[in-house]
């Protein structure tokens, strides 16, 4: 990676700056497998595959800036362009059967040679302008205008126009506010703007063509066929956001408070289209369409305090945010699932009036203890064979619509993966060269689907299970939470339900660092400028009710064998010469 820039002062207060950056990535892979016979596993032919990849991204920005101060007025104007291009290439080859496993080169294989390769690229071109104005450092105004163009959209929709503006009033500079002595600085601000999103695949507006081979009467014929339905009307997703905020510094700079409230509305959402197989196009590789609206609103609070300022210092930074997400409308051609496990049931739905990825499933109501309870309940799975029907020991699911049958109409919303609160706190201490920092982080109010339990507590095939299954139902009265062990799960006890929904709240000690900086006298004798020794621990421990390995499972809230964070201990020294 690298960048270079040049700046020219055209005249007083007017400057031109040009910046060029380049990122070049090269990576190769090689797979070699010799022929072998090992127990019942046999590989009759040696195999070699090699792949070479290249990705180049360049960025070129050019801006003019004009800054002028006259009296109590400050004016800043900027105008410029930004161009970017990314290009990715790869090629590969493979072959089998080598005269000798020592000659591991593609030229030396004799059977089933295959070659492949492809390239893709995207580019952006933006025009931008900004005006800043301030009067007496009390009244502040900023306005920006961007026009962004992306190659990912069709000819008629490449460009989007995105304006924004903000104002601020520093009340603490007004004469009427001077008597309020405990407030050092107070500013109220508000802003509104539009941004764009072009995060879709390359060439989504056009149909992708693939080469396929057909066999007609033992004659192989190649053909080029369209595989992805084109959508030339796809365009920029628009995100409109308004916010108001307060910045305050109090008690001789010892307390700083920032409060922000925002409302963000996303229009023309870029989502995958649902393509019927009857069209002849792929229903897996599908185009993006603009469908639906979404709303996010929230409140954020940040507090910085200097608790002790003497020889012993103690500073604290605390922030907490509350956000609410809701889908306003959604086109019914959008696939409604956002994750699934077992039995092809969707775990979450996207539906108007609900948060994104709200969990969706059945509601459990204990365990059937005897056949009478099964007979008196809504029909789940019928049959004469107790190993292929609902039987005592199976999970009882609630008949939410009271139609006497348990089916998809009895599914409901079970919770959201989105936290109600996200928070963090950092405390730093120092005393005579000793420094200590403690960073805490966590969330509250979210749910997690522990999909690992779908496999580890299913008891429907011969595979390892967790010790929780030792408390399974083995007879009337033995359990009202863990079902019976039965091959093939005839009652579909593993269907998505609140059985797998757990509280995802947690508080984690993210980092603790203890250091000691040698006194200047000792450092000077050693002919170095600074010397600091430290020990550090990351992910020290986590307080949570979640039964899985780690409650940080990602934004969709589904823990499907997510690898837990690593606990790390570090000892180090920083020397300055």
pLDDT surpasses 50 at 385? yes
3-state secondary structure of 60: strand
The whole-number pLDDT of residue 356 equals 83
Tell which residue, 412, 420, 292, has the closest CA to residue 359.
412
What span, in angstroms and rounded, lies between the C-alpha atoms of 224 and 325? Answer: 44
353: alpha, beta or left? (left if phi > 0; alpha if psi -120 to 50): left
3-state secondary structure of 525: helix
The whole-number pLDDT of residue 339 equals 47
What span, in angstroms and rounded, lies between the C-alpha atoms of 21 and 567? Answer: 36
**Do the beta carbons of residue 513 and residue 535 sit within 8 Å?**
yes
The whole-number pLDDT of residue 524 equals 76
The whole-number pLDDT of residue 419 equals 94
Q: Per residue in 188-221, pLDDT tens?
A: 999 999 999 998 888 888 887 888 888 888 888 8
The whole-number pLDDT of residue 96 equals 93
The whole-number pLDDT of residue 113 equals 93
The whole-number pLDDT of residue 316 equals 97
What backbone phi and psi angles, to 5 degrees, belong to 296?
Answer: -125, 135
pLDDT surpasses 70 at 343? no
Residue 129 β-bridge partners? 79, 145
Buried b (16+ CB within 10 A) or exposed e, 365-385: eebbbeeeebeebbebeeeee
**Do the beta carbons of residue 125 and residue 60 sit within 8 Å?**
no
Task: Give the range with max mean pLDDT: 232-236, 329-333, 336-340.
Answer: 232-236
**Do the beta carbons of residue 297 and residue 237 sit within 8 Å?**
no
Residue 41 β-bridge partners? 38
Alpha-carbon dihedral 501, 504, 505, 508, rounded to 10 degrees: 150
Q: Which two tokens stand for residue 554?
A: 């990602």
What span, in angstroms and rounded, lies between the C-alpha atoms of 55 and 26? Answer: 7
3-state secondary structure of 362: strand
Mean pLDDT of the chain: 91
The whole-number pLDDT of residue 77 equals 97
Quick one: CA dihedral 392, 395, 400, 406, positive or negative? negative
Name the strand (E) or helix (H) holding 12: none
Q: Which two tokens stand for residue 260?
A: 């922000």
The whole-number pLDDT of residue 370 equals 95
Mean pLDDT for 312-329 is 94
What span, in angstroms and rounded, lies between the C-alpha atoms of 300 and 100? Answer: 67
Q: Per residue in 217-251, pLDDT tens?
A: 888 888 888 888 888 999 999 999 999 999 999 99
pLDDT surpasses 90 at 394? yes
Alpha-carbon dihedral 300, 304, 307, 311, rounded to 10 degrees: 160
The whole-number pLDDT of residue 384 equals 75
Which is more confidently placed, 203 or 21? 21
The whole-number pLDDT of residue 332 equals 57
Q: What's 566's DSSP letter?
A: P
Would you list the DSSP string of 270-326?
EEE----GGGSS-SSS--EEE--EEEEEEEEEEEEEEEEESSEEEEEEEEEEEEEEE
3-state secondary structure of 522: helix
Alpha-carbon dihedral 392, 395, 398, 404, rounded to 10 degrees: -40
Q: Read off the pLDDT band of 342 (50, 70, 90).
A: very low
Mean pLDDT for 428-443 is 96
What span, in angstroms and rounded, lies between the C-alpha atoms of 472 and 368? Answer: 12
H and E: helices and strands count for the chain: 3, 33
Burial category of 559 from C-beta neighbours within 10 Å (exposed 0-12, middle 13-18, buried 19 and up): buried
Q: What's 92's DSSP letter?
A: E
Q: Which two tokens stand for residue 363?
A: 């509601």
The whole-number pLDDT of residue 346 equals 66
| CB-CB neighbours of 179 under 10 Å | 6
The whole-number pLDDT of residue 100 equals 86
Mean pLDDT for 522-528 is 76
What span, in angstroms and rounded, lies between the C-alpha atoms of 314 and 39? Answer: 65
Name the strand (E) or helix (H) holding 473: none
**Do the beta carbons of residue 553 and residue 563 sit within 8 Å?**
no
3-state secondary structure of 409: helix
Q: Which two tokens stand for residue 565?
A: 């964070």
Q: Which two tokens stand for residue 149?
A: 């163009």
The whole-number pLDDT of residue 540 equals 94
What backbone phi and psi angles, to 5 degrees, belong to 58?
Answer: -125, 150
383: alpha, beta or left? (left if phi > 0; alpha if psi -120 to 50): left
As a whole-number percent, the residues of the chain with pLDDT over 70 amount to 97
pLDDT surpasses 50 at 336? no
The whole-number pLDDT of residue 99 equals 86
pLDDT surpasses 90 at 347? no
Q: Per residue in 42-71, pLDDT tens?
A: 888 999 999 999 999 999 999 999 999 999
**Do the beta carbons of residue 315 and residue 307 sit within 8 Å?**
yes
What span, in angstroms and rounded, lies between the C-alpha atoms of 79 and 529? Answer: 44
The whole-number pLDDT of residue 200 equals 87
3-state secondary structure of 447: strand
The residue whose two tokens read 């539906």 is 351
Q: Per residue in 132-185, pLDDT tens?
A: 999 998 999 999 999 999 999 988 999 999 999 999 999 999 999 989 999 999
The whole-number pLDDT of residue 289 equals 87
The residue whose two tokens read 């390892």 is 464
């Amino acid at each position: 990676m690298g960048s270079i820039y040049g700046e020219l002062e055209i005249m007083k207060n007017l400057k031109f700056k040009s910046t060029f950056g380049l990122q070049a990535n090269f990576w190769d892979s090689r797979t070699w497998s010799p022929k072998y016979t090992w127990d019942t596993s046999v590989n009759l032919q040696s195999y070699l595959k090699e792949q070479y990849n290249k990705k180049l991204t360049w960025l070129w920005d050019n801006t003019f800036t004009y800054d002028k101060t006259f009296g109590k007025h400050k004016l800043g104007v900027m105008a410029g362009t930004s161009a970017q291009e990314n290009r990715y290439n790869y090629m590969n080859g493979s072959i089998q059967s080598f005269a000798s496993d020592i000659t591991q080169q593609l030229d030396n294989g004799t059977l089933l040679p295959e070659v492949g390769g492809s390239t893709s690229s995207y580019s952006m071109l933006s025009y931008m302008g900004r005006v800043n104005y301030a009067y007496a450092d009390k009244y502040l105004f900023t306005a920006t205008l961007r026009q962004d163009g992306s190659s990912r959209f069709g000819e008629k929709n490449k460009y989007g126009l995105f304006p924004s503006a903000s104002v601020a009033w520093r009340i603490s500079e007004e004469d009427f506010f001077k008597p309020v002595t405990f407030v050092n600085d107070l500013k109220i601000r508000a802003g509104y703007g539009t941004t764009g999103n072009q995060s879709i695949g390359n060439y989504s507006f056009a149909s992708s063509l693939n080469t396929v081979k057909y066999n007609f009467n033992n004659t192989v014929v190649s053909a080029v066929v369209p595989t992805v339905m084109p959508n030339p009307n796809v365009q920029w997703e628009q995100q409109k956001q308004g916010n108001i905020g307060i910045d305050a510094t109090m008690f001789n700079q010892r307390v700083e408070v920032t409060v922000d409230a925002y409302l963000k509305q996303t229009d023309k959402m870029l989502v995958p289209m649902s393509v019927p197989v009857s069209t002849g196009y792929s229903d897996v590789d599908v185009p993006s369409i603009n469908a639906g609206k979404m709303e996010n609103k929230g409140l954020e609070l940040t507090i910085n305090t200097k608790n002790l300022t003497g020889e012993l210092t103690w500073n604290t930074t605390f922030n907490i945010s509350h956000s609410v997400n809701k889908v306003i409308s959604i086109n019914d051609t959008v696939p409604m699932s956002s994750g699934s496990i077992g039995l092809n049931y969707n775990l979450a739905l996207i539906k108007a009036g609900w948060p994104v990825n709200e969990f969706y499933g059945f509601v459990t109501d204990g365990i059937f203890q005897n056949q009478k309870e099964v007979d008196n309940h809504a029909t789940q799975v019928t049959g004469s064979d107790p190993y292929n029907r609902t039987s005592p020991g199976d999970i009882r699911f609630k008949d939410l619509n009271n139609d006497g049958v348990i089916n998809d109409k009895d599914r409901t919303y079970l919770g959201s993966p989105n936290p109600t609160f996200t928070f963090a706190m950092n405390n730093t201490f120092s005393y005579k060269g000793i420094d200590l920092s403690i960073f805490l982080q966590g969330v509250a109010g979210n749910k997690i689907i522990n999909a690992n339990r779908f496999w580890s507590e299913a008891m429907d095939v011969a595979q390892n299970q967790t010790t929780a299954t030792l408390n399974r139902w083995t007879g009337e009265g033995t359990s009202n939470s863990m079902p019976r062990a039965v091959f093939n799960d005839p009652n579909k006890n593993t269907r998505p339900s609140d059985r797998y929904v757990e509280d995802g709240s947690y508080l984690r000690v993210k980092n603790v660092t203890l250091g000691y900086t040698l006194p200047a006298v000792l450092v000077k004798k050693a002919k170095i400028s600074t010397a600091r020794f430290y020990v550090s621990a990351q992910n020290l421990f986590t307080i949570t009710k979640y039964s899985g390995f780690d409650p940080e499972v990602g934004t969709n809230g589904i823990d499907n064998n997510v690898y837990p964070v690593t606990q790390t201990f570090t000892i180090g020294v920083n020397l300055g010469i």
